[in-house]
Amino acid sequence: MTNSELGHLIAQRIALTGPISLADFMAEAMGHPRLGYYRKATPVGAAGDFTTAPEISQMFGELVGAWLAERWLAMGQPAPVRLVELGPGRGTLMADALRATRGVPGFHAAIDLHLVDTNEPMRAAQRSALQGYTPSWHERFDTVPEGPLLLVANEFFDALPVRQFHRTPRGWVERMVGLDQDGGLRLALAPGVTPFARLLPDADAGAEAEICEAGRALAAAIGARIRQAGGWALIIDYGGETAGRAASLQAVRNHRGTDILERPGETDLSAHVDFRALADAADVSSFGPVDQGSFLQALGILQRGEMLKRRATPQQARAIDAASARLIAPDQMGTLFRVLALGEGKNAPPAGFANDSPSSTLRPDAT
């Protein structure tokens, strides 16, 4: 199945050096400097491979903006505050968030805006969506200057490479990408038990598991910044209770599911986010994950929709209702997507996490 230029390059590499992990495959498929999916394509939106919440309705970014501004007030209004978005896509979420918070006294004057994105065409879209602001762009979170932090990441962690494991009667073994007899890419289990076994739960033969090392390392870096200078992070993504304990890696091209090895570099690969692993790695207080539907309703999406409808045509009003339903309905994005907040431990739960206390199971000494 080596039917893309990058697929041929990966097959050549495997022929020379042997099978690679699914995480290495995914890192190449998404991040190859010339041919990687997130280097060249502009995949987000109706014409791309998938649509995201900020592209469905302005209300999503507006409510996230209100959440961030409220956290800034709760932090004691630090200035400057590093407002960071990981993987801002077309810049829609940040543009809506900033427009919605213009009236918060002192907030915009305090903001130092940083966007972490590797994708040049996306950066161009962000530049145009954020005219009037002066963001700095980064390839990685590490280069964002230190200081009080307000971070948001929507559908970012799901794009980070995962390793995948299968439980055999011998123990956990890693699923690798090797070559078939015709030189095409194929999945195969490694012959020996994996050294990652100590990070995996005990399970019956046949069980599957995933580990996202890049996601854990990033969450640890975010947590370190929060401990050092204060701050909050809001992570929104898809991933249920079984994330990490199932094989969730999936491929999407033109809004359709496809084989994960097919046309690397031209296909979106993503895996369910293991929020518990992220919270553990961050090692600060965590709230949630809560369902996106309840989070947005607690933040007032229905009231915001009513306000927008007052100035809308009947057709626009129907579109506003449809967008709300898509974001919050349990059979749409409402429960598939979940929201995790990481932050300073002593605080009361942030908006949207009202019934949550800082997680005691994840970090017993956090409160």
Instruction: State the nearest-atom distance from the C-beta of 226 to ligand SAM, in Å.
Output: 20
CA dihedral of residues 46, 60, 350, 68 (deg, nearest 10)? 100
Q: Does 215 bind ligand SAM (CB under 6 A)?
A: no
Taking a C-beta distance cutoff of 8 angstroms, is the pair 268, 8 a contact? no
Among 14, 22, 23, 44, interactor with ligand SAM by CB under 6 A? 44
3 state DSSP class of 315: helix
The SS3 of residue 233 is strand
Q: C-beta of 12: minimal distance to ligand SAM in Å?
A: 23
Instruction: Map residues 14-33 to x or -, x wherever contact with ligand SAM holds by CB under 6 A.
Output: ----------------xx--
Residue 89 within binding range of ligand SAM, rule CB under 6 A: yes
Site string for ligand SAM, 291-330 (x = CB under 6 A): ----------------------------------------
Q: Where are the alpha helices (DSSP H) in 75-168?
A: 92-100, 107-110, 120-129
* Segments in 167-313 forming alpha helices (H): 213-229, 275-282, 292-298, 301-310
Closest CB to ligand SAM among residues 172, 337: 337
Where in 144-183 is the site for ligand SAM (CB under 6 A)?
Answer: 154-156, 159
CB of 8 to ligand SAM, least distance (A): 23
The yes or no reply on residue 58 touching ligand SAM (CB under 6 A) is no
- Reference 176, options 32, 33, 17, 6; nearest CA is 17
Is there binding between residue 54 and ligand SAM (CB under 6 A)? Answer: yes
**Residue 67 interacts with ligand SAM (CB under 6 A)?**
no
Which tokens belong to 31?
């991040």
Q: Does 135 bind ligand SAM (CB under 6 A)?
A: no
Selected from 2, 21, 52, 359, the binder of ligand SAM by CB under 6 A is 52
CB 263 within 8 A of CB 32: no
333 binding ligand SAM? (CB under 6 A):
no
Spatial neighbors of 157 by CB under 8 A, at least 6 apart, are 212, 215, 218, 235, 237, 273, 278
Helices and strands (H and E) in the chain: how many = 13, 15
Q: Which residues bind ligand SAM (CB under 6 A)?
A: 30-31, 38, 44, 52, 54-55, 87-89, 93, 116-119, 122, 154-156, 159
